[in-house]
Structure 1
């Protein structure tokens, strides 16, 4: 059963080494993410699953010990998802960007709690499929926690990666309200096609969270919301 969840954005810029001189601009977001991870630790889960978006080729589970890198954005920095069992074979599938940021965040928080695994959700998955995966993950152990990585729209300003789309602010406001209040029905109702048009990569992981939290009785708390660089970032904690 799901006992806690943390919702965090997953831009590489969250990593100070990547952001370089612009690092202070996301200090508030980093602090909120660390607070959300603290809620996960306080829930004393038996298993922590880091969930994030990816393409169809990268979709699927990632075992403890899976490795990721920020070399693709010009930084010589590697990360590992939790600790692999001593006798485990070396994972052969690298972490996509979303889970690499999640692994970095857990390292920053000095996570020493439950074992950590990962799951990459294809951005093409529909809402029912996302919810079904969430329900399956929630049944992996008696006490499961999720670290849900994903950004809102990338169309909030003229300089945003997806340019300005007048629909973006309303989409992000609705998603943020749902995440901050743990509104499962509102998460399930997020428009898949609109999210794709707005480049909102967090839509699929958020709907996975909604499926995982069915019957869990969790309450949500909004810790951060902003749109630096024209991209919607939301941090929330459920417990």
Structure 2
């Protein structure tokens, strides 16, 4: 009875809301995760060739980086409105907008990772007969993974947040619950959906960090090396 009273009193924290609307929360969370995963996956598929184009020289880097930065500066509501004639009120509208927003982060980090690959590693691979394609996939991209994953983590957290804006076309995952809760002044729904959104962002970041550490063990070698500092010798007085 006390739990139901929190719904009547419209409390911010209400366990009865979570219990009675559990399936609704699960469905919204799964939609949120699905939109985020698809957006980041497509963003990576688009960002990689753009980064490869940009590293060909300043003539290509300027337009590519300028375009992706310009896209990121467009307000989300304006972006979705511009894409509306092409995709209508659909999940594709939200995903496309999120992909465009992710490009500025992903392209810059992939490019930074590729440019940080030591030239000695490239020369050694070429000396072993590696062609451009094999050099990219077996040498450059693996060495660029730390920067690439840093970009993926930032883009993922940003996408989790921006997905909520998709609620304006009914494809915003937890954002739909937040907006409907704000319209009806349903405090428990607003707080619960907001907390779940934050937890999604934190969980995604931690999972990607774990994957990054598993795929780049060489980045932890330095921390395991013994210190070169020698202990000072203590001279006892005679």
Q: TM-score, normalised by structure 1?
A: 0.25
User: Which of 1 and 2 has higher RCO (CA within 8 Å, sep 6+)?
Assistant: 1
Report which of the two structures shows the higher radius of gyration computed on alpha carbons.
2
Q: Which has the higher strand share?
A: 1
